Amino acid sequence: MSSHADVRHQALDEYTRAESAALTIRMQISKASGLAAPTVAVVLGSGLGTFADSLADPVVIPYGEIPNFPRSTATGHAGRFVIGKLSSAKTTSESGGETVVAALQGRIHPYEGYSSREAGFPVRVLGRLGIPALVLTNAAGGIHPDYRPGDLVLISDHINLQGTNPLNGPNDDRFGPRFPDMSEAYSLRYRQLAQDSARELGIPLREGVYAAVPGPSYETPAEIRYLRSIGADMVGMSTVPETIVARHMGIGILGISCVANSAAGMHQGKITHEEVLATSERAAASLGALLRTVLPRLAEQKD
């Protein structure tokens, strides 16, 4: 989206632009006393950004201060890159060290005018920072009849209906192969760790298939019936470009959807973004508790 891009860097290839952004972030981390490089990252979706505020000794970088980094414009997405330590006493890794997390408060959506490749660019930067594990969260519409607003659902697989792919165009082998495998886009081992964590905390945690659509208009009842018929349990407008880019780079993915509303035709009444944000904010406490438990465990894994 040219109106938000740093035009001075448009001539640079994507790898160089990602490395430049990562270098700026590394420099900011190096200025912070006692803060190590992050070993795990999380992208916080609509209304779910408060988790980043709980990190201790944070380094906070607005997206606009990171070279080449696209800016979030959607309501409920603060647009800040936060690096900090998990504050709970239970969040030390098995090796005894503190877990340092990179938390992205807000994401980029294709409906904002960005390409699918641009929507995945923040994950390119995470990859150049050497982060091997990534949690993607989002607010989604519930299609499965048993889902209720506020439920947390692990993404077991996705259906890409956005009409594009962030890997379209020439492939840069420095990032990954031309034809990356997607047979286990969302790590089974990560999901098992998340289920174990949820059971320990007493948090109900479902699993389902996420359908990604272009947006920004919400789906019609007929579209929801179609999505249900092809195996979707929830629907949203994000996450898939980031997942594809991450798997291209060999980054392990855990996806968590917050069911923010029942999808069109599944209940009476209209769907509003205000409803989505309000429900997500109510579920943020449960999500935060889950993240504080599972992130250190993911940091110990190698997908």
Supply 162's token pair: 């956005």
- Helix 14-31, helix 116-128: angle, nearest 10: 50
* Neighbour-count burial for 112-126, b at 16+ CB within 10 Å, e otherwise: bebbbbbbbbbbbbb
Q: Alpha helix (H) ranges present in the chain?
A: 14-31, 116-128, 188-201, 221-229, 240-248, 273-299
Peptide bond into 122 cis (omega under 30): no
Tell me the β-bridge partners of 154: 207, 256
Strand partners, 94: none
Catalytic residues: 46, 77, 109, 111-112, 139, 237-238, 261, 273
Torsions phi, psi of 290, nearest 5?
-65, -45
Nearest to 83 by CA among 30, 123, 119: 30
